[in-house]
Each structure stands twice: as C-alpha cells, then as structure tokens.
Amino acid sequence: MQPKGLSITQMYTVKFNFEQSGLEPVTLEGIKPGYSLLEVALMNDIELHHNCGGVCACSTCHLYVNKGEGSLEELSDREEDFIDRAVNPRLNSRLGCQCLLLEGSGAVEVTLPDQTQFLGE
C-alpha cells in the first residue's frame, strides 16, 4: 500500500513468458525494487523451480532475460558457473534468484524454460 502523496515511480512491470506449451504470458505491474525475479514469480503463483532455496547453488531457477537486463543485479562469476550447468543456456540466461530488481523502475521481460523438464539438478 502506497501512502498518499508519495510518488510511485519506483515500480517495475515484469512480464513472464513461458516455453511450456499451453501457458499464456503474464504481465505483473507495480513490482517494487529489491525483489528477485524468483521471488516475484513465486509471490504471484508462477512456478519456477528453486532447489537450493535461492542461494545460487543450483541452476533450477534458470530463465532468459529478454528485456530490462540493466535493471537487474549484475551477473556474478558464481552465477555464471551455475548457468553453464543449466539446460539450454543462452547468452541471455540468468538465475532467477540472483536477478534482484535494482532501485528504479522500468520494464523487465523474461522467458521461463519448461518447468516440467527438470530432473532435479
């Protein structure tokens, strides 16, 4: 809830696309900075695996960032190592738990790999 009189400029729009067939894209508005894309997904009932609990120790929260990369916490070496172990890594691969929305506002768009393909890495 935003107190009256304060500007609401620090908000993101986050769009989730899905590789899994049958799932339609979901656009979420009014997302505050400071959350990871994994948290944003889970808070909105979007399934995204997170076997390590969001501490950059697996690769099951793997996703592709299509837009808004600059609004996210930078890729770390450790994250890159885990991305290498993900299924079908691409140049725009990230780990959802490491993609913290930075202070600011804007639009971020991601694609989630098929969540039925995971085999417990």
Nearer to ligand FES, 23 or 52 (CB): 52
| Shortest distance, position 82 Cβ to ligand FES, whole Å | 6
Nearer to ligand FES, 26 or 52 (CB): 52
Structure tokens of 15? 């769009």
- Could you list the residues that contact ligand FES (CB under 6 A)? 50-52, 54, 56-58, 60-61, 82, 95, 97
Phi, psi (5° rounding) for residue 93? -70, 140
99 φ, ψ (degrees, to nearest 5): -90, 75
Distances (CA, A) of 116 to 30, 45, 64: 29, 16, 16
112 within 8 A of 63, measured Cβ to Cβ: yes
Residue 119 CB, nearest distance to ligand FES (Å)?
15
Cβ closest to ligand FES, residue 8 vs residue 55: 55
Closest distance of CB 29 from ligand FES, Å: 24
